[in-house]
Structure 1
Amino acid sequence: MASNSTTGSRGRVVMLVDNGVHGDSRVQKAARSAADAGWEVFLLGIRNARSDTDTWQIGGAEVRLLRVPKPLHRLPRDSSRSLRRPLAYPPGTKAAYRIQEIKAWQAELYERRIRAQVLGGRLPAVVGRTAQLPSRAAAVVLARWVKFRAGETHRLRERQVDPDSLLTKLPIRSWQALLGNRSWRRLDPGLWDFELAFRTAIDELEPDIIHANDFRMLGVGARAMLRARAAGRDTKLVWDAHEFVGGITGRADNPRWLPAQIAYTAEYAAYPDAVVTVSDTLAELLQETHALPERPAVVLNAPMAPPADADGDTPDLRALCGVDERTPVLVYAGAVNPSRGVQLMVEALPELPEVHVAFVTMNPNGDNRFSETLLERAVELGVGDRVHLLPYVKHWQVVPFLSAADAGVIPIHHKPNHELALITKFLEYSHARLPIVVSDVKTMAQTARDTGQGEVFRAEDLTDYVRAVRSVLADPARYRAAYDKPGLLEGWTWEAQARVLDQVYSGLLGIPAAAAGGAVPATRVPGDQRELAGTTR
């Protein structure tokens, strides 16, 4: 078993995240900066198909990826019949198997018929065809029966994913009424899969602080904190709320999913000793929604300066696009999907001659179905040579990489969580000193107007988007000048945010916060009599 803290450490922090870490710049920066400030940091994530290794270092923090079997993620409809359509095939591949089986039988009957016709035989062809009549009739009847049952299966699936269907709503409402916030156990028992995968790894590390990123890890962290306290350790829990759960767009294939996540979050929101989040707007909303005793601390997902152990040169965005310095380039950095509005950037290109668009996204090589759709649409519009899919770079390279563009675009649609924060790319574009073209989502649009760093357009409005792009390309110096305002960019650095996070950790353990720049004051961890070094790790 590990000890609570090691010599030279201010305390042990175990961070939890429900992804593979590689694409999550916030958790990477938090782990590195906490280790730099003298904390002993372990970051536990999830191993997936893309994970090359289970363990590695981020600065002084150790990353460990865990395998998470997900048998409980199966929906009830995936393992049992439904009384809605009793003649539908059972869940699984039965319908597809029966359809293919009937087709194979029909093909065999046809083969017998033509073989007799071509090769001949003792009996006249008409006799052979007559002998086949019962089998052919049976095949026709069975084909119609299978087609009907397959149709019932399709109609059943449509009703099961219809959130307005009475038989879909009734069990959800019944479990909510019966169990309240505990209803997630019936609506999405798959949340237990995370608990069962993480619990042993957390307990063996015996953390002083558990830092639970986002809502899935909140319950995992809360239960680990309770186990630690039952064992006599005063472990603290920090919840890092990345988004508002009630504002997430639910899964279209599972109407139970969003009510389950809301109930799960509501049950465990009272457990953290401290809450941090990504914006002032979300901090207020979380405090109001969950009746938090204190307003959450705000830790923006701001860019960080290159770490001391940074390696490799920053790639050249323009070289990757194959364009020169005179060619106008609009950049979008982040995931691409319909709600991000990125298709608007492609649709506008016929109206913006000479302009190129670079999408810096996780899957630039056709791995991503929506990326393929963007490229296909670009080809249809005759602008395929002006759309470029580029891979992610290391998080400390993002700002210099993006700075080669002429403007940064954030065309996201109006969704509850899109209204609440200055998202990562907004801050990255800012540090790259790019003029920003942003849709009229509340927080980012207001900030862009107040600072003068960009143009705002009506979300999903192609004409207004083209107007905004033309404005920033016509006079980029006007928008870049906004970044000269004293203190603007300094407050949007990860270094400033890391100090906030360190103050939260230090306050929970009753020890002095690290000095500016990461220097660690000499102190003692409560309950540990060893003198701790006053230097960074």
Structure 2
Amino acid sequence: MVATGTNEPTAPARIVILVDNGVNGDSRVQKTARSAADAGWDVILLGRSPNGQPQSWKLGDAQVRLVRMPSPLRQRRHEYRRRWFIGPLAYPPTGIAAQRAQVVKAWQADLVIKRALLASGGRSGGSVLKRGSLRVQEVAAKVLKRWVSFRYWQLTTAQRLRGSLRSPWDRAYTWFWRRLLGVRSWRRLEPQLWDYELAYGPTVDQLRPDVIYANDFRMLGVGARAKIRARTKGRQIKLIWDVHEYLPGVKPRSNNARWMTANQAHEHEFSPYADAVITVSAQLAELLKRDHSLPLLPSVVLNTPNVADVEWDEGAPNLRNRIGLGPETPLLVYSGAAAAHRGMGVMVEAMPHLPEAHVAFVVNDPQSAYLNSLVARAKELGAADRLHVLPYVAHHEVVGFLSTATAGVIPIHHWLNHEIQLITKFFEYSHARLPILVSDVETMAATVRENEQGEVFRVDDVEGYVRAAKAVIADPDRYRAAYKSIDLAAWTWEVQAEVQAGLYRRLAPDRIPGRA
């Protein structure tokens, strides 16, 4: 509690942090919540339950709550209707197609048994009449199978054509609503955004925050609408918008052509309600100021490790002893989300050219289809015994866990957001004093070259990657020595969190913890 001028106790300001995930695995939001709570602010972190059940726990002094979020608006109205023009004979999208296909398979399986009984002279008999009847049924089943298959094909073809929302009709629809409604057009083009509002909004209102900290584009709308509702009731809420990615530069989360148009419209509608904007790099700050006509340049907060997390215990579990690898064996590690655009395939393709080296993937979902495809490829190359796939460790254990690798690899592809920032794993590798093998994405490649802390290779260039990896494996100490001249203290969360703390104090000057 703090004291006012009249000696009446006043609680510190309540900060409600909004994030569109299940919190676990998102180190940035966890550190944001914990550092604010440790400073005395009343912090509640709201996320989305991954299993549909509300959950809650403590993160230091911060509360974490995961809300249930049904998403009935994810599917569009046309997905519930037949496509009369594209597939006039298609089954309706009700599941009947799969049922009919299974019925035909069952009928044909039964006819196989009948034929076997006739051939064996069983009690079904073998009269000409019965054999003729069976033949008629077999022909009828084949005809019906072709008919069902044709209607099923029309259904799946129509769904595929409409699924991308790129048909002339869909393009005209998108253009019409964008012209008619402008920034409000997302209501027609991406109605699923309402599912976030309906899941989070009531809880935010009940919590009565003084400050809302909205992470990324979906939560911006939730926070802005809560601010508007509070204002009509005479309450003032300050809104902080933390932009992790530049929206026009992301790989679309959905395959449909409306996704980017709709989400950009949503972002542009609600960005004026932000009282402060935070982002992850100076270049992204400039882009946001330009695109949204912001009065001030956004503050930059890098997603760096906590000081305590980088002072690891050398006797603690680490990558090498987890996979049972001796200290002399070269070990190249990738740590982070697993996806094709992250470029991990080049590490597998290079394994035959680095016969002594082992590769480790420390990933969010070790059993994903993409990871399974990489494991299968390693088997084809005869290198499966040198590929190790492990799950994430807690964010405060990452640096120490990775520290025994020979090098950390960042093979990501050329997407705009990859070009303009130092990503989380870059800082984790740096604090682990790992030589870094990075693809030629602009900012990280330039930093590695300037600091001489690793080698750079062209995206998806196996030969270039092998050359870079051999250089590091031959003399890792040369690259580790570069960290003696790098100010790693500046790359710690405590330094970055001071930027956030300054915003909290500016936005809630009368409710600062510990102020008399």
Per the TM superposition, whether the score is higher than 0.5 is yes
| Contact 2:16 2:204 survives alignment (8 Å) | yes
Match of residue 74 from structure 1: 75
Mapped to 2, the partners of 1:311 and 1:482 lie a distance apart of 22
Q: Secondary structure at the match of 1:57?
A: strand
Q: Secondary structure at the match of 1:193?
A: helix
Decide whether aligned partners of structure 1 residues 163 and 417 sit closer, same or farther in structure 2, where only a CA change above 3 A counts: farther
Mapped to 1, the partners of 2:153 and 2:23 lie a distance apart of 42
Q: Which amino acid aligns with 2:468?
A: A
| Contact 1:9 1:533 survives alignment (8 Å) | no
Match of residue 268 from structure 1: 270
User: Aligned ranges for residues 22-171 of structure 1 at < 5 Å?
Assistant: 22-49=24-51, 54-83=55-84, 84-119=86-121, 125-132=127-134, 135-162=137-164, 164-171=166-173
Q: CA deviation at 1:281?
A: 1.1
1:459 maps onto 2:459 in alignment: yes
Q: CA RMSD in A?
A: 2.5
Mapped to 2, the partners of 1:67 and 1:313 lie a distance apart of 40
| Cα distance per residue 1:354-397 (max 9 Å; x no partner) | 11111111233xx3222222222112211112111122222122
Match of residue 490 from structure 1: 489
Structure 1 window deviating more from structure 2 (386-395 vs 416-425): it is 386-395
Match of residue 480 from structure 1: 480
1:398 maps onto 2:379 in alignment: no
Structure 1 window deviating more from structure 2 (123-132 vs 56-65): it is 123-132
Mapped to 1, the partners of 2:358 and 2:309 lie a distance apart of 32
Q: Which amino acid aligns with 1:431?
A: H
| Contact 1:7 1:533 survives alignment (8 Å) | no
Q: Secondary structure at the match of 2:212?
A: strand
| Contact 1:435 1:479 survives alignment (8 Å) | yes
Mapped to 2, the partners of 1:124 and 1:43 lie a distance apart of 74
Structure 1 window deviating more from structure 2 (15-24 vs 164-173): it is 164-173
Match of residue 416 from structure 1: 416
Q: Which amino acid aligns with 1:499?
A: E
Structure 1 window deviating more from structure 2 (63-72 vs 164-173): it is 164-173
| Cα distance per residue 1:7-49 (max 9 Å; x no partner) | 6853110000111101100000000111112211000111113
Q: Secondary structure at the match of 2:308?
A: coil
Q: CA deviation at 1:113?
A: 4.3
1:525 maps onto 2:506 in alignment: no
Decide whether aligned partners of structure 1 residues 296 and 64 sit closer, same or farther in structure 2, where only a CA change above 3 A counts: same
Mapped to 2, the partners of 1:9 and 1:390 lie a distance apart of 44
Match of residue 514 from structure 1: none
Mapped to 2, the partners of 1:160 and 1:263 lie a distance apart of 22
The alignment covers a number of residue pairs equal to 507
Mapped to 1, the partners of 2:183 and 2:398 lie a distance apart of 40
Match of residue 504 from structure 1: 503
Decide whether aligned partners of structure 1 residues 252 and 18 sit closer, same or farther in structure 2, where only a CA change above 3 A counts: closer
| Contact 2:318 2:403 survives alignment (8 Å) | no
Q: Secondary structure at the match of 1:269?
A: helix
Q: CA deviation at 1:313?
A: 7.5
Instruction: Give the unaligned 5+ runs of structure 1.
Output: 1-5, 512-523, 527-531
Decide whether aligned partners of structure 1 residues 312 and 206 sit closer, same or farther in structure 2, where only a CA change above 3 A counts: farther
Q: CA deviation at 1:525?
A: 2.1
More helix by share: 2
Q: CA deviation at 1:504?
A: 1.3
Q: Which amino acid aligns with 2:260?
A: L
Q: Which amino acid aligns with 1:228?
A: A
1:370 maps onto 2:370 in alignment: yes
Decide whether aligned partners of structure 1 residues 165 and 507 sit closer, same or farther in structure 2, where only a CA change above 3 A counts: same
Question: TM-score, normalized by length of structure 1?
Answer: 0.89
Decide whether aligned partners of structure 1 residues 395 and 133 sit closer, same or farther in structure 2, where only a CA change above 3 A counts: closer
User: Aligned ranges for residues 309-388 of structure 1 at < 5 Å?
Assistant: 314-364=316-366, 367-388=367-388
Q: Secondary structure at the match of 1:306?
A: helix
User: Aligned ranges for residues 227-246 of structure 1 at < 5 Å?
Assistant: 227-246=229-248
Q: Which amino acid aligns with 1:189?
A: P
Decide whether aligned partners of structure 1 residues 30 and 22 sit closer, same or farther in structure 2, where only a CA change above 3 A counts: same
Mapped to 2, the partners of 1:398 and 1:8 lie a distance apart of 39
Q: Secondary structure at the match of 1:270?
A: helix
Q: Which amino acid aligns with 1:475?
A: D
Decide whether aligned partners of structure 1 residues 140 and 501 sit closer, same or farther in structure 2, where only a CA change above 3 A counts: same
Q: CA deviation at 1:121?
A: 6.6
Equivalent residue in structure 2 for 1:278, among 270, 277, 280: 280
Mapped to 2, the partners of 1:50 and 1:362 lie a distance apart of 20
Q: Which amino acid aligns with 1:533?
A: G
Match of residue 15 from structure 1: 17
Instruction: Give the unaligned 5+ runs of structure 2.
Output: 1-7
Q: Secondary structure at the match of 1:255?
A: coil
Equivalent residue in structure 2 for 1:188, among 176, 185, 190: 190
Question: TM-score, normalized by length of structure 2?
Answer: 0.92
| Cα distance per residue 1:105-152 (max 9 Å; x no partner) | 233344444434534679862222334555444433322221211121
| Cα distance per residue 1:461-490 (max 9 Å; x no partner) | 00011111112222223322322225x212
Mapped to 1, the partners of 2:142 and 2:352 lie a distance apart of 53
Decide whether aligned partners of structure 1 residues 503 and 136 sit closer, same or farther in structure 2, where only a CA change above 3 A counts: same
Q: Which amino acid aligns with 2:450?
A: D
Identity level (%): 51
Q: Secondary structure at the match of 1:413?
A: coil
Mapped to 1, the partners of 2:202 and 2:298 lie a distance apart of 29
Mapped to 1, the partners of 2:326 and 2:374 lie a distance apart of 23
Q: CA deviation at 1:158?
A: 2.6
Structure 1 window deviating more from structure 2 (494-503 vs 147-156): it is 147-156
Mapped to 2, the partners of 1:208 and 1:122 lie a distance apart of 81
Mapped to 1, the partners of 2:207 and 2:159 lie a distance apart of 44
Decide whether aligned partners of structure 1 residues 114 and 246 sit closer, same or farther in structure 2, where only a CA change above 3 A counts: same
Mapped to 2, the partners of 1:444 and 1:278 lie a distance apart of 13
Q: Secondary structure at the match of 1:404?
A: coil
| Cα distance per residue 1:173-204 (max 9 Å; x no partner) | 22222222212111221111111111121111
